[in-house]
Structure 1
Amino acid sequence: MIIRRYLVKQVVSTSIVVIALLTLIMMGGRLIKYFGVAAQGRLDTGVLFSIIGYRLPEFLTLIMPLGFFIGLMLVFGRLYTDSEMAVFNASGISRNRLARLLIPLTTVFLIVQIALMAWISPWGIRKFEALTSAQAVRTGFDLVRPKEFVSSGPYTIYASDLSEDRKNLKNVVFYQRAQSENKPDIVILAKEAKRVEIPNDPANVVDLIEGRRYELYPGQPKYSQAEFKSYRLRIENNSAEAASGDEAEAMPLLNLWDKRNDPVIQSELGWRVFGPFIIVIALMLATILSEVNPRQGRYYRLLPGILIFASLIVALMAVKTRITRDELGIWAYPTVLAVYALVTYWFLRTPKRSPKTISTSSK
């Protein structure tokens, strides 16, 4: 159908432009943040764009529905301002019928959104966590720069000079923060440090030459001191962390289903199952919110429409938080979607007047 092809072309092109712009804005800010982390020596600059790539699907899960909604608002708004909607109505084609012509396109966006939320975004989060864990293995000795203090996890390292192969450091200061209240902070001063490569050993091993080792107990008036000619230091990767709610975002869908009795898992499972259907609500909302007078311009209702659509996303995120705290059940997701859908459907069923056109009469 010619009208369907015309609408699909307009909506797709506009939505892609909006999605690309929103992605550029959001990911640009995130990239600046990671550049700041890299500038502090806590991240290798070579993995910056890999990190951005892995985080992109996670951002698209929110950007794509909003971009699709804004694209619909702009296209329908232009139909009103250019009096094309008046021509459609005069030909017996209502706004609701035009919206129904976009159902196949909406289904495509829905499938893409399901794929993003159910599989692609969790995969990206897992890759991102694996990459950041690999960066955690890179301790301060890997990231050290001459005459600068560099922190990595519980370690802080300073060296006055560094060889080109990064294996020899001069005038080294090493500090390790205590991991518990009963353990001491460790400070080591050495004239030289040499990297030791041990096959199949993920830790960093360094031989310190001629120095002193101090054990300091925070809040207590005691310490211990030892001098050495050679001291081998082994810096382990402290990758074992307590499980948190963020882990659920990286879990495969089948794993979430196996642990569905946990409130945190329930919130993430419900978000992945019901969240994609905001694409359908976007089509319904855009159909009723985009109607404007030709003299008002197609941007007249864009901001209010974005706020209304954003309220749906905020409501779902609030539900997700409440379910995580075991204050609501997973049924809250479809309830919110149903409320928005029913209210929108009621407005769609309400008879609307055709857009007014300017008529001229000859005298």
Structure 2
Amino acid sequence: MIIRRYLVKQVVETSLVVIALLTLIMMGGRLIKYFGIAAQGRLDAGVLFSIIGYRLPEFLTLIFPLGFFIGLMLVFGRLYIDHEMAVLNSSGLSRNRLARLLLPLTTCFLVIQLILMVWVSPWGLRQYEQLSSTQAVRTGFDLVRPKEFVGSGAYTIYASDLSEDRKNLKDIMFYQRADKEGKPNVVILAREAKRVDIPNDTASVVDLIDGRRYELYPGQPRYTLTEFKQYRLRIENNKDADVTGDQAESMRISQLWEKRSDPVVQSELGWRLFVPFAIVVALMLATALSEVNPRQGRYYRLLPAILIFASLIVALMAVKTRITRAELGIWAYPAILLIYAVVTLVFLRKPNLKAKLNLKLNK
């Protein structure tokens, strides 16, 4: 059908432009953040774009429905402004009929969204966590700069000199803050340190040569001193600095199903299976909210419509948080979608309802 092809072409082109623009804005901000981390020496600049690539599907899961909705609003708004909708209506094609013509396209977008949320986004998060683990967001001795005190979590490290390959350090001062009350703080002074490479170990391991190790008890007038010729020191990666996704978000769908009794897993499972159907609600909302007077302009209702659709996403996020806390069940996802769909369907079935409500309020 010619009209269907025309609508599909317009919606696809407009939606893709909007999705690309939103992706550029969101990922641009994220890239700036990673550049800042790399500038501090905590991240290898060579993996920046790999990280962005792995995180991209996660962002697309939210950008994709919004881009599709804005694309629908812009296309339907243009049809009203250019009087094409009036011509179509006079030919026997109502706005509801036009929406039904877009159902195959909406189904395609729904399938793409399902694939993104069920498989692609978790895979990207797993790859990102693996890359972050191997990079360790460069903690411990990877942060050392000559003649500077460098902090990394509970550690503070100083070295007067550092070889180009970062394998040998001179005049080392290492401080470790106690992680529990009653435990001593540790200060180590050494003449030299040599890096030790251990396969499949992300921790920083060094052999300290000719030094002293102090154990200091905060608030107590006592300490312990140990002298050594050689002392192997292992520094675990700073977990706070490692930017990883939530464990449930990176789990495979089969793993989520096996642990579906856990509230956190339930929230993630429901999020992946039900949130893609916001694409269908987007079609219904756009059909109901896009009607404008040619004198008002095609953007007259765009911002309020975006806020309404955003409220749906926010409501789903709030439900996810409540399910995580075991305050709601997984049924809350379809309930929210159904509420928005039913209210929208009422306005679509009764196009004069808004005018009647305004009339009653004015009285």
Instruction: Provide TM-score, normalisation by structure 2.
Output: 0.90
Stretch moving more, 298-307 or 190-199: 190-199
In 1: Cα distance, 2:105 partner to 2:81 partner: 23
The amino acid across from 1:260 in the alignment is R
- Distance verdict in 2 for CA 1:171–1:12, change over 3 Å: same
Is 1:335 aligned with 2:335? yes
User: Residues 65 and 279 of structure 1 are in contact (CA less than 8 Å); yes or no, is this contact kept in structure 2?
Assistant: yes
Per the TM alignment, residue 199 of structure 1 is displaced from its structure 2 partner at its CA by: 5.5
Q: Which residue of 1 aligns with 2:190?
A: 190
Q: Which residue of 1 aligns with 2:211?
A: 211
Unaligned runs of 5+ in 2: 354-363
Identity between Structure 1 and Structure 2 (%): 79
- Distance verdict in 2 for CA 1:199–1:342, change over 3 Å: closer
Unaligned runs of 5+ in 1: 354-363
- Distance verdict in 2 for CA 1:230–1:22, change over 3 Å: same
User: Residues 41 and 150 of structure 1 are in contact (CA less than 8 Å); yes or no, is this contact kept in structure 2?
Assistant: no
- Distance verdict in 2 for CA 1:4–1:221, change over 3 Å: farther
Stretch moving more, 129-138 or 327-336: 129-138
Per the TM alignment, residue 93 of structure 1 is displaced from its structure 2 partner at its CA by: 1.1
Stretch moving more, 296-305 or 40-49: 40-49
Residue deviations 1:147-173, cap 9 Å, x none? 333334433322222111211112222
In 1: Cα distance, 2:9 partner to 2:60 partner: 21
In 1: Cα distance, 2:332 partner to 2:312 partner: 13
Q: Which residue of 2 aligns with 1:18?
A: 18
- Distance verdict in 2 for CA 1:280–1:202, change over 3 Å: closer
SS of alignment partner, residue 279 of structure 1: helix
The amino acid across from 2:259 in the alignment is K
The amino acid across from 1:280 in the alignment is V
Stretch moving more, 229-238 or 139-148: 229-238
The amino acid across from 2:329 in the alignment is G
User: Residues 137 and 202 of structure 1 are in contact (CA less than 8 Å); yes or no, is this contact kept in structure 2?
Assistant: no
SS of alignment partner, residue 117 of structure 2: helix
Q: Which residue of 1 aligns with 2:290?
A: 290
Is 1:128 aligned with 2:128? yes
Q: What value does the CA root-mean-square deviation take over the aligned residues?
A: 2.3
Per the TM alignment, residue 317 of structure 1 is displaced from its structure 2 partner at its CA by: 0.8
The amino acid across from 2:246 in the alignment is D
- Distance verdict in 2 for CA 1:245–1:159, change over 3 Å: closer
The amino acid across from 1:291 in the alignment is E
Per the TM alignment, residue 198 of structure 1 is displaced from its structure 2 partner at its CA by: 4.8
- Distance verdict in 2 for CA 1:200–1:52, change over 3 Å: closer
Residue deviations 1:258-295, cap 9 Å, x none? 11111111111111111100000000000111110001
SS of alignment partner, residue 159 of structure 2: strand
In 2: Cα distance, 1:250 partner to 1:262 partner: 16
Q: Which residue of 2 aligns with 1:271?
A: 271
Instruction: Provide TM-score, normalisation by structure 1.
Output: 0.90
Give the alignment of 1:59-74 within 5 angstroms. Answer: 59-74=59-74
- Distance verdict in 2 for CA 1:273–1:219, change over 3 Å: farther
Aligned pair count? 350
